[in-house]
Structure 1
């Protein structure tokens, strides 16, 4: 009996020992398998035919928000965002989603195209999104496409059940996709010979055009036209720079398009024409950015370009052509309604740079300058280097011409690039004193962004409020007209009131925002 018990105990212990040993072996085997899977090098997938960048515009400029891989292989499966690493122009980007798409980065099926969605990281110091495809030319003060934009991809795809490594590095600056620029489906240019205001010689000028044109127009239907004039940084020969640089594309989207109505129908929408100058709207003939107290070399060609577009497009309501622009474009907006006071139904100059006083000139017509260092976006702006006189550039005669066009100014009090006190504030005051009954001013304390909550921009960037549809309140006209305060002229900047504590009112109608007001304006014949 003892022998049998001892045998049984030994047998049980043996089973236990073997069992534990087996468990240990299994654990080691599983660990080995994990290590083996990691160490196995996957075969490289060489089916990526093309890499494109998807460029999206924001209020602070564009960024690359997607990478689109043209693979031409319909058997791709097993996409996992955690299997991908991406760098754009040397910046590591977090992949937030991976899916099969069409060529524009929209989800689709069986296309052989893979889109990697990227996280958009906003830099509070530069006030730009990381991974921007723009490069700022400090000599010209222009935004330009980066000379190269290198995308590095390290990922994994599954094709017919087999895993492959995707590893590629390529300059793709010319492979761009953008829904924002695609909205402007009409592209053209206008060229003609004009006399240079400084040299008095004939020269060939050319302006680029890009237009958003609503689809499915009914026969005989006419819609209003909004013309946008860009700022200093968006000149050149590629309207896409204009469309993306300050999010001009917002004018072609539902948030703003919904305010424009068509007489006699229930349809909504307006044409949007973005016109681009090769240099600056304030260029008086020497190729440089002027100071706002001269006549632009592009004055006549801009008018001819607008008329050429209207001639091309018989669906434009010629009694409802509206003009808006920021900074340089704000200068040009004022310049155009002075030179062509009977053409536009309304004008919206934003942070406008049409000087109130003249500046000193040399014998050859160029300007005398102060010896200061000019930097982009600093207090020593391109305007502040010139020597101001006390001779009015905005004369009584110009005020009488300006008052013929309904006008709505927009600016921020802390604008240090184009200070409102030397430009729009005294001009607006003079308009009111001259009896302008359809002139309004939205004046903000500073510029706070929307895409990134509480992002604080330069006070010059007041176009952000316009393109974000945040211009609602206006300044107290009577207070400004009767003010004796030389420091404020009766203006009271207001962010909470979205430009002021009053509302624009005309013919018994109160307007909730600048676009509702704009849509209501109609050219008065022989005004």
Structure 2
């Protein structure tokens, strides 16, 4: 299976999250121009279904300009991407000119202004645009990592101000950056039995009521020691968005990072064990003990692929601790699951997600037979969103024939992050997050009638609108 994952990951082209370093700027101002001494740029990074992208460059000009003085052609931007890991070649474009799709006078945060000392340049981003997407995958280690993105912004056209004309700016001094939602998380670290686990956590607004805890376990490419990759490598950061938080009236989020892979077992890769399991459980219990506002009856755990594998291990071995689980494209092979394990899984409400086009973790060998066995064993609160494929549902990205852009079939986590999994429960269409927010320990949750075993050719739910 590791070879399958490696083969799949060779197709990923990602880039850095704004760890950009620039050192100088050059200004060539005409005789009537106002001299500017501290020109610099800042970046804004956002995380999309396919991963992170640098969406905006905010330039500090040092002189006040009006909105009519800036057009999409006023500046051009070039970026050079370099790896911090010497042996890791850049996948995708290593350097090139970024396409500017919008330019306007703004404030320091990139908000449109009639007049101001800042200009914001919005960049083209997309699942196939590598210059603005900020992580690089190492084919040797099977891990993503940040790269340096050095931007140079050159002025093409004069900018007329009340006090003169600005010409010939060359800006390459980096003044920092922001990462939407990611900046709302805190990085932490804990060590248990000589195993150190980095993690990020999100704390909801305190209204003096108990809040649930959502634990998310990352996929194979996001292991390491930086802490941020598990929420930045793909859209896991969205659990902190208002769209998701509203279902829980605010929820704590805990996203641990395996030093390598959750699937590193004691006897082999993906052998049904994990050398990080005890340390992970210790971290979870410590985090809960230090946050007394967490409702211990509503601790939920989920993860994708490698993290889905670990989710299955955690609910197998700590079935009485978790109120519900939502493993996605989970990588615990069904042949490693005993009948005793099935009885443990039955104690935990579970919502599986996968896609039929997943060739990395083929559903026929993993989730489908496991789901079937749970249904046959009489599980009354197990659900399965089984998609035909994984497509763009934003309407922004299309294939050549104008049909929705199609992602790798392994990427079914996209539907989870966007709460696009749904099922008929007690006669009502219910989304994954609605269902999850309703789960509690020791609560009677018999829900879906008429559940039946399935085959790979069948689809339980399709939510691609």
Range into which the TM-score falls when normalised by the shorter chain: 0.7 to 0.9
Deviation at 1:111, TM superposition (A): 6.9
Equivalent in the alignment of 1:235: 223
1:283 is aligned to 2:277: no
Alpha-carbon separation, structure 2, partners of 1:189 and 1:49: 37
Say whether residues 1:518 and 2:439 are aligned partners: no
Partner of 2:382: 439
Are the structure 2 counterparts of residues 65 and 43 from structure 1 closer, same or farther at C-alpha, using a change threshold of 3 Å?
same
Find the residue that maps to 2:374 and give its secondary structure.
Answer: helix
Moved more, 109-118 or 460-469: 109-118
> Among residues 326, 329, 333, which one is paired with 1:355 in the alignment?
333
Within 5 Å, which residues of 2 pair with 1:73-222? 73=62, 75-77=64-66, 78-89=69-80, 90-95=95-100, 96-102=102-108, 104-107=109-112, 112-123=117-128, 128-146=129-147, 148-155=148-155, 156-158=158-160, 160-168=162-170, 170=172, 175-184=176-185, 186-193=186-193, 204-215=194-205, 217-219=206-208, 221-222=209-210
Cα gap change, 1:336/1:259 in structure 2, threshold over 3 Å: closer, same or farther? Answer: same
Distance of 1:297 and 1:154 partners within structure 2: 51
* Shift in alpha-carbon separation, 1:324–1:45, aligned structure 2, 3 A: farther
More strand by share: 2
Equivalent residue, structure 2, for 1:425: 368
Please say if 1:308 is aligned against 2:291: no
SS for the counterpart of 1:418 is: coil
TM-score of the two chains, using structure 2 as the length reference? 0.78
- Which structure has the higher relative contact order (CA within 8 Å, separation 6+)? 2
Q: TM-score, normalised by structure 1?
A: 0.69
Q: In the aligned structure 2, how far is the partner of 1:407 from the partner of 1:134?
A: 32
Q: Which runs of 5+ in 2 are unaligned?
A: 1-29, 81-94, 399-403, 446-465
* Alpha carbons 2:187, 2:228 under 8 Å: kept: no
Equivalence for 1:470: 420
Query: Taking structure 1 as reference, are residues 351 and 121 closer, same or farther at Cα in structure 2, changes over 3 Å only?
Result: closer
Partner of 2:247: 259
Q: Residues 44 and 296 of structure 1: is their aligned pair in 2 closer, same or farther, counting only changes over 3 Å? A: farther
Kindly state the Cα deviation for residue 247 of structure 1 after the two structures are TM-superposed: 0.8
CA contact (8 A) 1:42 1:165 kept: no
Instruction: Say if 1:152 and 1:170, in contact at 8 Å, map to a contact too.
Output: yes
> What is the distance in 2 between the residues matched to 1:189 and 1:526?
36
342-351 vs 91-100, greater mean Cα deviation? 91-100
For residue 163 of structure 1, give the secondary structure of its aligned residue in structure 2. strand
1:55 aligns with 2:45: yes
Distance 1:274 1:41, change over 3 A: farther
Alpha-carbon separation, structure 2, partners of 1:408 and 1:176: 37
- Cα gap change, 1:44 to 1:143, in 2 (>3 Å): farther
* Structure 1 position 291, deviation (Å): 4.2
Shift in alpha-carbon separation, 1:313–1:159, aligned structure 2, 3 A: farther
Check whether the contact 2:33–2:163 (CA below 8 A) recurs between aligned residues: no
Change (3 A) 1:516 1:80: same
Offset, 1:472: 0.9
Asked if the contact 2:199/2:227 (under 8 Å) is kept, the reply is yes
In structure 1, the residue corresponding to 2:119 is in which secondary structure?
strand
Q: Which residue of 1 aligns with 2:448?
A: none
1:274 aligns with 2:247: no
TM-aligned CA deviation for residue 110 of structure 1 = 7.7
